[in-house]
Amino acid sequence: MTITSKIAWDDTVLPFQLDHSDIRGRVVRLDGVLDQVLSQHNYPPLIEALVAEATLLTALIGQTIKLRWKLSLQIRGDGAVSMIATDYYGPTEDGQPARLRAYAGYDPEKLHAEGPTFAQIGQGFFAILIDQGEGMVPYQGITPLVGGSLSDCAGAYFAQSEQLPTRFALSFGKSQMPGQTLHWRAGGVMLQTMPKASPFAAALEPVHPDGLLRADDILDGAEGENWRRANALLDTVEDLELIGPTVQPTELLVRLFHEEGARVFEAQPLRFGCSCSAQKVKESLATYHTNDLADMVTDQGVITADCQFCGAHYEFTPDQLGHTFEGEDAP
């Protein structure tokens, strides 16, 4: 299925700054990218909603990473939804699109179609991982699952791990333009206080029962007032304004923050993209024990593997993986 963006600002992230509030942010619009992410699987609506939210968050958070870096979200729980994983691949060169991919693991027998969406992840954690490339130690930050949405978890992560008050407003769903087919659209806004080098930052101690920091624990005085004012303005946003398609991101920023000195920067284009390859799958399978591989051989004498992100199908003979099966190992 070929999907193309219908509108110039679809599948982009627009960074901005509120000069009068010392707050930065991003506006994201997803159209074809989200359609391609979700079309790789036949997810039930509840899972589609979680994957859509995670993909939006990944686009907003990942926009700041450097060229060729990778940022990943991992949400793991002990409920019906065991995992949601996303990747944001930084552009290979300036001006090139970043790539997004996502998938979810779940037990369909445990899902409650009419139940609360977020609660079906259960107890677990929300993690952000940044891979800076070969020879560099990956960064990983983890917080428990809190609040009532993945957006709440992301906000808690930044408050706890980075001590940066952060707010997300997201909207997503299927829409249909006149004369077009039904497809996914999504949009969102991220607000975040500007980072400050403070010798007192590490001394902050949470006072809440869950042991996590809140914005009020981090900000006071003029900073706290600026943050509350910007959040009050964002509270007025409507779902259709977030998603579009008739409201441009710049128009949305003017409507919300025209008195805050909103200044925009160059938009980052996005596309769906997967990094899987036959060589990578082969290298992964080659690490398996011979007995395990013998159990994986099909009646046709091959070992198969499918990419969980894009659905690509790979087949290898045991010889291609450097294994031969004899005696008890023979399939």
Whether 93 is covered by a domain: the verdict is: yes
pLDDT higher than threshold 60 for residue 329: no
The pLDDT, as a whole number, for residue 225 is 95
Residue 244: per-residue pLDDT: 81
Asked whether residue 2 is assigned to any structural domain, the reply reads no
* Predicted TM-score of the model (pTM): 0.87
Q: What is the CATH number of the domain that holds 222?
A: 3.55.30.10
Please indicate, yes or no, whether residues 50 and 185 belong to a single structural domain of this protein: yes
Which residue blocks in 139-277 are alpha helix, DSSP H? 150-157, 215-218, 221-234, 239-243, 249-257
Check whether residue 80 and residue 207 sit in a common domain. yes
Mean pLDDT of the chain: 88
Top mean pLDDT of 74-83, 127-136, 295-304 is at 74-83
Going by C-beta distance under 8 Å and a sequence separation of 6 or more, which residues neighbour residue 127?
A: 73, 74, 75, 76, 140, 141, 142, 143
Is residue 56 domain-resident? yes
Residues 133 and 206 grouped into a single domain: yes
Sequence-distant (6+) residues with CB within 8 A of 137 are none
- In this structure, the answer to whether residues 187 and 317 fall within a common structural domain is no
**Residue 300 placed within a domain:** yes
Instruction: Please check whether residues 206 and 304 belong to one and the same domain.
Output: no
Residue 309 lies in a domain: yes
Are 83 and 201 within one domain?
A: yes
| Model confidence band, residue 202 (pLDDT cutoffs 50, 70, 90) | very low
Q: Above 60 in pLDDT, residue 73? A: yes
Amino acid 205: pLDDT: 58
Res 292 pLDDT > 80? no
Overall domain count for the chain: 2
Tens digits of per-residue pLDDT, 12-70? Answer: 999 999 999 999 999 999 999 999 999 989 999 999 999 999 999 999 999 999 999 99
Q: Which of the residue ranges 133-137, 179-183, 236-240, 279-283 would you say has the lowest mean pLDDT?
A: 179-183
> Exposure pattern of 213-245 as b/e (b: 16+ CB <10 Å)?
bbbebbbeeebeebbebbeebbeebeeebbbbb
Between residues 111 and 305, the one the model is more confident about: 111
Is residue 316, in this structure, part of any structural domain at all? yes
Same domain, 283 and 255: no
Asked whether residue 3 is domain-assigned, the answer is no
More confident residue, 142 or 328: 142
pLDDT tens string 118-128 = 999 999 999 99
**Mean pLDDT in residue range 104-133:** 95
Which of 247, 272, 297 lies at the terminal end of a domain, its last residue?
272
pLDDT at 126: 98
Q: At 308, which CATH number?
A: 3.90.1280.10
Strand-pair category, 268-272 with 81-89: unpaired
User: Would you state the torsion angle of the CA atoms of residues 117, 119, 123, 126, taken in this order, to the nearest 10 degrees?
Assistant: 40
What residues make up the domain containing 298? 278-329
